Amino acid sequence: MSEITPTEELSQWLATLETALARADADAAAALFNEDSYWRDLVSFTWNIATAEGKPNVRAMIEQAAIPAKPTNWRLEGEASKSGDMTEGWIRFETAVARGYGYLRLTGGKAWTLLTTMTELKGFEEAKGTLRAKGVEHGVQPGRKTWLERRRQEEAELGVTRESYVVIVGGGQGGIALGARLKRLNVPTIIVEKNERPGDSWRKRYKSLCLHDPVWYDHLPYLPFPDHWPVFSPKDKIADWLEMYSKVMELDYWGGTECKSARYDDAAKQWTVEVLRNGKPMTLRPRHLVLATGMSAVPNLPEIPGMETFKGDLHHSSRHPGPDAYKGKKAVVIGSNNSAHDIAAALWELGADVTMIQRSSTHVARSDMLMDLALGGLYSESAVKAGITTDKADLLFASLPYKILPSLQVPVYAEMKKRDADFYARLEKAGFMLDFGDDDSGLFLKYLRRGSGYYIDVGASGLVADGKIKLKSGVAVERVKEHSVAFSDGSELPADLIVFATGYGSMNGWAAQLISKEVADKVGKCWGLGSDTRKDPGPWEGELRNMWKPTHQEALWFHGGNLHQSRHFSQFLSLQLKARMEGIPTPVYGMGPVHHVS
């Protein structure tokens, strides 16, 4: 028997899968998977974001989602590659209603991981490339309107005399990325944002803020940053970009508009959304409501006895203006994650006397090391040079189900711990409590599980290690007095400024505020994987709760995350909304019960 090439191996596997699915033979299709295997589907078969883990669950997904979707035309794109026992490659396929793209890994000739994602709905493709608008209709048409006249008419009518199909609450990068995708799909959408201009939610944060993620990870859909864009975008620069992007993508962006309430009419299948647009009450009646209020929308401000008696400035980190007013003052920063470090460092740079209060252990990873060890393979200049486009990087990352991610991350952080041993030793010597996650799986899993608990070091850790930022570790804040803060160990610190860098609550808290406690409880907690680690209670969910996928409240969606997630998952949320607008059946597979309400 002659050796077959990796490309032949994958092609044959796909052909066998296609035959089995076409015959509706779930057993034969499932037989192509290992016992330990994963099929992750982003919308193409499940109309959900769902991962089937293990052969029995894969078989169930095949029977109940894949076969009914009538997939055809499975084929390899490009050449497959082989390394040891593993053969892998890019795949394309179609369903009755859509086209898809994915990534397949075989071990021992059977599937270990299969990623399937929807790229476009047949008959509703984005008007791009050869399908783009002509811009001017050649020939002459009496009474025709110019682009500007049509655009102005659209702006005047949408939400006023003509309802939008979608309302997105929140016009940060999440709302903007989703708005751009919906615009390209011709889904009428209004983005409601309480700040005046796109980008203001960045502009209004502390002045030293820069993105902690590198530029290759941060592109918005369709319009990548030019290649001189700084690695770590300063906040005002990313704000200007978001503003420019919203304008040239022709988003219907209602700045200066506050969402006051929303309620769903089950019979009419329609939301009633009350907003104040530049102070004027208006009612919007979209079919779908997306909360893109951000992971960082509902500040956690702990209630501490005596807070109201404090004579200095006291605020949550989301309201911290930056250090300018605090030169020579005494500052207490409560918290030890990203914001706490950024704010403390900027205060120290300006000459404030700063103490950081660390209440529990924190994961610290140096930014350079993260690039080298964790992100660089997919998101870096060398990845770009190796032909890994942003789209491909996103899909390669998505091709690793969350269940197996910790096992792949643990060695990365073990290496980081080794390379930066001196750095970590200095921090510990200064009294800083370190961790690498409950299972040593590091930063990205902390982000997925709880969205907190880490600092990406861009310099402040050195100040902590050197004692320039003073540290008080392992204590709780017991009381705020007129000019000081008192701690659980009996000590007390004088303070002119107290910053609570104490994080944010679950996004469904925003649903409780806008809609009702009942709806918030019905949909349950957002984010987190159910990993049964600190701040991420089980049971295991397999995917982030409620994000970018149907919730237990009809027509209510949550969108958010970092720029990478806003870019990548807006694709799948936009396709789900477009399909519903066009009346394409969207049977949802794999909708689990709600385990936690917040």
Interface region with its own copies, contact rule CB under 8 A, candidates 99-107, 170-178, 239-247, 286-294: 239-247
Q: Bridge-partner residues for 547, per DSSP?
A: 558
Report the distance separating Cα 176 and Cα 169, nearest Å. 10
Q: Which of 29, 460, 493, 499 binds its own copies (CB under 8 A)?
A: 460
Minimum Å distance from CB 1 to its own copies?
A: 37
Per-residue interface string for the shown chain with its own copies, residues 64-93, x marking contact by CB under 8 A: ------------------------------
Q: Is 400 in the site for its own copies (CB under 8 A)?
A: no
Q: Please say which residue, 29 or 352, places its beta carbon nearer to its own copies.
A: 352
Interface region with its own copies, contact rule CB under 8 A, candidates 105-113, 133-141, 294-302, 436-444: 133-141
Report the distance separating Cα 161 and Cα 70, nearest Å. 40
Using alpha carbons, list the distances in angstroms from residue 477 to 342, 431, 452, 497: 21, 17, 19, 15
Pair of tokens at residue 18: 């296609």
Pair of tokens at residue 59: 């078989």
Q: Which of 244, 325, 421, 425 binds its own copies (CB under 8 A)?
A: 244
What distance lies between CA 476 and its chain's CA centroid?
31
Minimum Å distance from CB 551 to its own copies?
A: 30
Q: Which of 25, 75, 94, 234 binds its own copies (CB under 8 A)?
A: 234
Minimum Å distance from CB 326 to its own copies?
A: 14
Instruction: Judge whether 171 and 195 are in contact, CB under 8 Å.
Output: yes
Q: Is 233 in the site for its own copies (CB under 8 A)?
A: yes
Q: Is 494 in the site for its own copies (CB under 8 A)?
A: no
Per-residue interface string for the shown chain with its own copies, residues 375-394, x marking contact by CB under 8 A: ------x--x----------
Instruction: Judge whether 435 and 362 are in contact, CB under 8 Å.
Output: yes
Report the distance separating Cα 291 and Cα 511, nearest Å. 8
Q: Which of 54, 306, 431, 462 binds its own copies (CB under 8 A)?
A: 462
Q: Is 138 in the site for its own copies (CB under 8 A)?
A: yes
Q: Please say which residue, 174 or 221, places its beta carbon nearer to its own copies.
A: 221
Per-residue interface string for the shown chain with its own copies, residues 356-375, x marking contact by CB under 8 A: -----------xx-------
DSSP 145: P
Q: Which of 9, 126, 541, 543 binds its own copies (CB under 8 A)?
A: 126
Per-residue interface string for the shown chain with its own copies, residues 178-207, x marking contact by CB under 8 A: ------x----------------------x
Report the distance separating Cα 232 and Cα 218, nearest Å. 9
Residue with tokens 């769903």: 264
Nearest-Å Rg of the Cα atoms of the chain is 25
Minimum Å distance from CB 325 to its own copies?
A: 15
Report the distance separating Cα 128 and Cα 131, nearest Å. 5
Q: Is 2 in the site for its own copies (CB under 8 A)?
A: no
Q: Is 124 in the site for its own copies (CB under 8 A)?
A: no
Per-residue interface string for the shown chain with its own copies, residues 247-286, x marking contact by CB under 8 A: xxx-------------------------------------
Minimum Å distance from CB 223 to its own copies?
A: 5
Q: Is 345 in the site for its own copies (CB under 8 A)?
A: yes
Backbone angles phi, psi at 407, to 5 degrees: -65, -30
In 3D space, the residue among 200, 319, 195 whose CA is nearest the CA of residue 259 turns out to be 195
Beta strands in 359-403 (DSSP E): 363-366
Q: Which of 264, 348, 455, 557 binds its own copies (CB under 8 A)?
A: 348
Q: Is 237 in the site for its own copies (CB under 8 A)?
A: yes
What distance lies between CA 499 and its chain's CA centroid?
26
Which residues neighbour 72 within 8 Å (Cβ) at sequence distance 6 or greater? 18, 22, 93, 94, 95
Minimum Å distance from CB 68 to its own copies?
A: 32
E strand or H helix at 180: helix 173-184
CB hemisphere CA count around 285 (13 angstroms): 9
Q: Which of 142, 328, 387, 583 binds its own copies (CB under 8 A)?
A: 142
Helices (H), 325-483: 338-349, 367-370, 381-385, 390-398, 405-419, 421-429, 443-449, 460-465
In 3D space, the residue among 536, 515, 547, 507 whose CA is nearest the CA of residue 595 turns out to be 536
- The 3 state secondary structure assigned to 44-82 is CCCCCEEEEECHHHHHHHHHHHHCCCCCEEEEEEEEEEE
Site size for its own copies (CB under 8 A): 63
Minimum Å distance from CB 383 to its own copies?
A: 12
Q: How many residues does the chain have?
A: 598
Q: Which of 35, 141, 418, 490 binds its own copies (CB under 8 A)?
A: 141
Q: Which of 210, 276, 301, 597 binds its own copies (CB under 8 A)?
A: 210
Angle between helices 173-184 and 563-581 (to 10 degrees): 40
Q: For the chain, first and last CA: distance in Å?
A: 58
Q: Is 328 in the site for its own copies (CB under 8 A)?
A: no
Q: Which of 27, 79, 149, 489 binds its own copies (CB under 8 A)?
A: 149
Residues that bind its own copies (CB under 8 A): 126-130, 132-144, 146-149, 151, 184, 207-208, 210-211, 215, 222-223, 226-234, 236-237, 240-241, 244, 247-249, 345, 348-351, 367-368, 381, 384, 457-460, 462-463
